[in-house]
């Protein structure tokens, strides 16, 4: 059974899928499964392996699905003595189960494959993200011109949500060529639960885009999801420097950093 779990884990990693690995890490007294027993839980409710069956397993399954939702591991401790007190069984022992969410690297979607967009693709890939690139100009959005992306979507921005799943871990980086492009296509992206939405450009450019979005009826709450001008203040000038500024802010936001100097008080 463990061998099939390891094979399933390899497939999950290869296909950028998700699951939660539940492992019995301590067993005292009489318990249904020994240390090292494993169960792999999928988001759709399926699972392989077992950590003991019965109420114990049902509770671990619930925790596994919550771990897939919030991305946080869990150390679970259960007594198996007296169900009337809320225990999971009557075997007489104690068991600990470690629940580890197995999640793919977040997807960075770079919209706009100009000089800065290409630099962001390169840096994001080097940092270990999955990377997709989109541009309505097909001659910019292909493996020849932007070779480091994992996927290419040569469509207008408003069509992007129909092409790729934008989940709550996704990162949207708009390195587009002007406010007109942003105003025309940004609204559907604001309906997504993306962890980060950033738009390149000056404050004046963003103010122009906001005005156009409001004319379309886009709410202030949705507009507030956007960081623009995006990036940390690094006095960046070159495409590569700007990419560092952008990805530094992405990491700060997604990992809940402060952006302060490590040497500051």
Q: Which of 142, 261, 257, 143 is nearest to 196 (CA)?
A: 257
Under CATH, which number does the domain 107-254 receive? 3.40.50.720
pLDDT digits (tens, 9 = 90+) for 165-217: 999 999 999 999 999 999 999 999 999 999 999 999 999 999 999 999 999 99
pLDDT of residue 190: 97
**Is pLDDT at 150 greater than 70 in this prediction?**
yes
pLDDT of residue 43: 94
The overall average pLDDT reported for the chain is 91
| Domain limits, CATH 3.40.50.720, in the chain | 107-254
pLDDT of residue 1: 43
Q: What is the mean pLDDT of residues 57-84?
A: 85
Q: What is the mean pLDDT of residues 23-27?
A: 90
Q: How many residues does the chain have?
A: 265
**Is pLDDT at 254 greater than 50 in this prediction?**
yes
Q: What is the mean pLDDT of residues 54-64?
A: 88
Give one DSSP letter per residue of 219-245, joined into a string.
-HHHHTTEESS-S--S---SHHHHHHH
**Is pLDDT at 9 greater than 60 in this prediction?**
yes
What whole-number distance in Å separates Cα of residue 108 and Cα of residue 251? 11
In what helix (H) or strand (E) does residue 82 lie, and over which residues does it extend? none
**Is pLDDT at 86 greater than 50 in this prediction?**
no
- How many Å is the Cα radius of gyration of the chain? 23
**Is pLDDT at 53 greater than 80 in this prediction?**
no
What whole-number distance in Å separates Cα of residue 104 and Cα of residue 98? 19
Cα–Cα–Cα angle for 199, 205, 206, rounded to 5 degrees: 50
Cα–Cα–Cα angle for 182, 130, 12, rounded to 5 degrees: 135
Q: What percent of the chain has pLDDT over 70?
A: 92
């Amino acid at each position: 059974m463990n061998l099939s779990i390891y094979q399933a884990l390899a497939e999950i990693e290869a296909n950028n899928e998700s699951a939660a690995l539940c492992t019995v890490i301590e067993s005292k007294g009489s318990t249904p499964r020994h240390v090292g027993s494993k169960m792999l839980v999928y988001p759709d409710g399926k699972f392989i392996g077992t950590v003991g069956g019965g109420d114990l397993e049902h509770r671990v399954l619930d925790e596994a699905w919550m771990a897939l939702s919030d991305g946080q591991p869990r150390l679970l401790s259960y007594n198996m003595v007296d169900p009337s007190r809320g225990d999971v069984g009557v075997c007489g022992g104690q068991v600990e189960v470690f629940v580890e969410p197995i999640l793919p690297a977040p997807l960075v979607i770079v919209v706009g494959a100009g000089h800065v967009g290409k630099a962001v693709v390169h840096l994001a890939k080097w940092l270990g993200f999955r990377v997709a690139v989109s541009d309505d100009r097909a001659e910019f959005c292909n493996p020849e011109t932007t070779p480091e992306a994992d996927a290419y979507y040569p469509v207008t921005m408003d069509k992007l949500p129909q092409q790729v799943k934008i989940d709550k871990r996704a990162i949207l980086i708009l390195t587009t060529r002007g406010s007109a492009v942003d105003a025309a296509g940004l609204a559907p992206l604001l309906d997504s639960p993306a962890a980060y939405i950033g738009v390149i450009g000056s404050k004046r450019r963003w103010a122009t885009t906001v005005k156009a979005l409001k004319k379309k009826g886009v709410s202030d709450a949705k507009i507030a999801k956007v960081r623009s001008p995006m990036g940390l203040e690094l006095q960046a000038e070159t495409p590569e420097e700007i990419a560092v500024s952008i990805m530094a802010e992405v990491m700060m936001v997604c990992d809940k950093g402060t952006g302060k100097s490590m040497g500051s008080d």
